[in-house]
Amino acid sequence: MSDTFCPDCKKHTEVAFDHSAGDTVCTECGLVLEAHSVDETSEWRTFANESNDNDPVRVGGPSNPLLTDGGLSTVIAKPNGAHGDFLSSSLGRWQNRGSNPDRSLILAFRTIANMADRLGLVATIKDRANEIYKKVEDLKSIRGRNQDAILAACLYIACRQEDRPRTVKEICSVANGATKKEIGRAKEFIVKQLEVEMGQSMEMGTIHAGDFLRRFCSTLGMNNTAVKAAQEAVQRSEELDIRRSPISIAAAVIYMITQLSEDKKPLKDISLATGVAEGTIRNSYKDLYPYAARLIPNSYAKEEDLKNLCTP
């Protein structure tokens, strides 16, 4: 209850709300102060047919401009009631006759969403991957190719374009059986097809070692001081002519930084966290070792401390 001015009582009185009728009624004289009002608060009723379904959502999903009907078509589900045979033989038959032309697209988008969720990617990357797949699918050039590799490659390209790159090995871990080689070939095929269609080179974004560093450090459980030192070292490494992949440089920098801390990380653990082979990390570390004094911040390790670094 709350206080509201009643014109009949000529004073502020307590009022009662009749939610079923939408009326606000004075408790002293019974005058209806407001009729058919709209309750704008949240509604948590359940509109599901199943008694054990507590989902209060009563609307469908958002429209999808990549689908023919915007993703707002109606699908008749197979019932579980006593009249299931009748409904499945009549309504089900009509459902099959009006089959959704975007069924393959919907399945592809669902697979991309599942892979993105497992990698913890944001919605913008999912949408970009869906757009890339839609463009390639419209070209009718992916028939007979490994569908899992194509979808994984679309997600890889989307990550690159949104400046949130993932390694091919990370994409491969959620790619439903597609190998790194298959994903790599699919990526090259998609880029080539879209470049021919657009008549210009496809922007993929530049990969830097720093794009992977924080994620790798988090996986290894490194403290904030070591992470900041590794980030600064990676930034300084870009000024050097180190002809190694950004992922290899990130792994080598992590190895170098951890050797100067009390919490030293075995090469095997760094290899597992970064997906870079131990031999590759050693070779990259060998290339970085002569520049250790320039790479390691003075606030993290003094020049005499660099003697503790392993000789490559």
Q: Which domains does the chain have, with CATH numbers?
A: 1-49 (2.20.25), 102-198 (1.10.472.10), 209-307 (1.10.472.10)
Judge whether residue 85 has pLDDT over 60.
no
pLDDT at 279: 93
Q: What is the pLDDT of residue 199?
A: 79
Average pLDDT over residues 35-61: 64
Q: Give the mean pLDDT of 134-145.
A: 85
Which range is least confidently modeled, 18-32, 77-91, 148-162? 77-91
Q: How confident is the model at residue 70 (pLDDT cuts 50, 70, 90)?
A: low
Which comes out higher in pLDDT, residue 262 or 100?
A: 262
pTM (2 d.p.): 0.69
pLDDT of 5: 86
pLDDT of 302 reads 73
Q: Do 234 and 249 form a contact (C-beta atoms < 8 A)? A: yes
Q: pLDDT band for position 82 (50/70/90)?
A: very low
Tens digits of residue pLDDT in 177-223: 899 999 999 999 999 988 888 777 777 778 888 888 989 999 999 99
Q: What is the pLDDT of residue 47?
A: 57
- pLDDT of amino acid 45: 63
- What was the pLDDT predicted at 241? 84
Position 74 pLDDT exceeds 70: no
Share of the chain above pLDDT 90, in %: 30
Average pLDDT of span 271-278: 90
pLDDT at position 308, please?
67
CA proximity to 283, closest of 245, 234, 232, 235: 245
Say what the pLDDT of residue 295 is. 87
